[in-house]
Chains A and B, each alone.
Chain A
Amino acid sequence: MAFLALSDIRKNYGPQTVVHKFDLAVERGEFISFLGPSGCGKTTTLRMVAGFEVPTAGSIKIDGKEITRLHPNKRNVGMVFQSYALFPNMTVAENVAFGLKIAKKSAAEVKSRVEEMLNIVKLPHLAGRYPYQLSGGQQQRVALARAIAIKPQVLLLDEPLSALDAKIRVSLREEIRSLQRSLGITTIYVTHDQEEALSMSDRIVVMSEGRAEQIGTPFEIYNNPTTRFVASFVGTLNVLKGQALDPASGLMRVDGQEIVSAKPLPAAAGAECSVALRPEVATIGHPSIAVADGKNRMIGTIEEVSFLGSVVRIRVRFQENAIKLDVFNNPNAAPPERGAEVAVSFAREDVLVLEGGHA
């Protein structure tokens, strides 16, 4: 049985449904990310777990106990907010001690737990400071310490890093993940940052318009997206539109050139269909150089070359279709030039055939 179970959750605001039939089973100690654009229902779902919103239908259970309508202060769920939500009138130590005092822990226990928590988040020297005397990253660490001090059954993080600068974001996300692993705390993390979700999660729930589009490991989500939305939201995606020739064998024509996908095409022969490619799966070479058997090969012209440091992004146009490719920067070779004719090759397995036909 799942440790945290959301079953058939629905949330309406008046006539508008913001979360539809949401099901999720989270194992004990698992790190799950809700990933999606603004307004997709990820924060609303998280808030239902925290108890700040009551589902219109469905049930939420933690360790088999029904908590759907339980008041937030009775749930034993820790939450870290995007805006930190530290109490401005309390010092760092008082903030961390707040939940422990409410739980009526002894003074000695509160003191030792606060010290332990501040050591964990590496801020023991700031115990006497007020929140306004801390940087954003420090405040979020304190918020994290405060949330885990009460030993919650589930830890919820609502875009905790989005207000921080890029460098701190990367270091803090690593800290959060290692802390979560060491404490073994079941965690739900809401983000719209795919890199965060991919790098931190055991599993990702990609959400769109109040629905879970796909639930899977970061590897599955990135490499085997099941819907067009997931494929386009997670990572960069090139869409190739063409005509299905032999759908069963995955053969189609794109701008007068034939390509094959490993999976059957979800379209009738002769009908328009589209497939997708990740930028990093294709390679470019001189048109005269042959490619390995079984690989797709398309001839196009370089339209744009963008130098991004470690990677060079190249846009190749065929006719109607154009794709972006990423190649590693090679300091000993100049990047390809605009206008050059090139052969783009990619494996059949790398052609993404997405649910619903149109990629």
Chain B
Amino acid sequence: MNQARIGAWIATILGALYFVVPLIGTFEFSLRMRRGEYSFDAYRVVFGDPQFQATFAYSTLQALATIVVGVLLVVPTAYWIQLRLPKLRPVVEFITLMPLVIPAIVIVFGYIRLYNSSSILPMTASARATDLLLTFSYVTLALPYMYRAVDTGLRAIDVRTLTEAAENLGAGWPTILFKVILPNVRSAILSGAFLTFAVVIGEFTMASLLNRPAFGPYLQNIGANRAYEPSALAIIAFVVTWACMGLINVFGRGKQIKAAP
């Protein structure tokens, strides 16, 4: 084994340790709730907590809503940009990257100023309207991931020719979009969807400042008041996120629809 290879292995092992050791430490600590022996008591407490169930269900619902709204917003936009307005692509890419540059707290304060109870559109005046506002804010937060994923998927197929072929056979826009384009960017949409899920499920800032019962604020609250449960929750959140990543890989590699050569 030459020196370069040894160096590479050392770097890999150090990197892995850097990530894995805290995780193992957290996991190990989460098992110590019962004195003198390892147990899953912390997990039992967490899963048995009605607030956990409620907040996790709420955030899951928010994530699903975000995915639906995001797909309905991003797929037609990216498709239209690719097909008719390719010169606008840099502008749209810049806009979609903005949520990565502007802190979430700035965005949410903007929302509160714009949509407070005394504004023309008082979305924060009722719980349901605030839920909707939270969904839209999550769509904004997830935009960079969803747009990139869909745009990459669209670039992999010949959008223009497929559209023309479908039009030529009598198809209108809804048919083209739902029967020709969407199925061919399915794995790209799923990638974007899982990334969106991972972003939304643990999001704190927006949910907390809009005062919604989401999983992120619950995590923070538990972390501030309990000893072992936060570690268990951290591991649960980690597993959920990694499950999403795993699903991206599974669907990305699964029944791959290849473009005709």
Contacts and interface: CB of A to CB of B under 8 A. Distances in A.
B170 A84 contact: no
B68 interface: no
Contact of A73 (B171, B258, B260): B171
A85 to B, nearest CB: 4
A77 B257 CA distance: 28
A52 B165 CA distance: 10
B213 to A, nearest CB: 40
Which of A71, A87, A102, A130 has the most chain B CB atoms inside 10 A of its CB?
A87
B183 interface: yes
B180 interface: yes
A289 to B, nearest CB: 57
B165 A85 contact: yes
Interface in B234-261: 257-261
Given A88-B184, A132-B261, A83 B169 contact: no
B168 A77 contact: yes
B164 A79 contact: yes
Contacts of B184: 87-89
A136 B169 contact: no
Interface in A286-325: none
A50 interface: yes
A218 B166 CA distance: 33
Interface residues of B, number: 23
Contacts, number: 77
Which of B164, B169, B171 has the most chain A CB atoms inside 10 A of its CB?
B169
B158 A146 contact: no
Interface in A65-116: 71-74, 76-79, 81, 83-89, 98-99, 102-103
Contacts of A74: 170
A196 B239 CA distance: 61
Nearest to A99: B169
A84 B260 CA distance: 8
B166 A87 contact: yes
A210 interface: no
7 contacts: A71-B167, A73-B170, A73-B172, A84-B260, A85-B165, A131-B260, A132-B257
A87 B170 contact: no
A133 to B, nearest CB: 9
A78 B170 CA distance: 10
A86 B162 CA distance: 7
A88 B259 contact: yes
A102 B178 CA distance: 13
Interface in A47-76: 50-52, 71-74, 76
B205 to A, nearest CB: 39
A81 B169 contact: no
A85 B164 contact: yes
A132 B260 CA distance: 5
B167 to A, nearest CB: 4
A139 interface: yes
Contact of A103 (B162, B165, B170, B172): B170
Contact of A139 (B166, B172, B175, B260): B260
A73 B167 CA distance: 5
Contacts of A71: 167
A5 interface: no
Interface in B89-147: none
A88 B257 contact: yes
A-B pairs, top 9 by smallest CB distance, nearest first, are A99-B169, A85-B165, A89-B183, A132-B258, A131-B260, A72-B167, A102-B170, A85-B161, A79-B168
Contacts of B172: 73
Contacts of A132: 257-261
B168 to A, nearest CB: 5
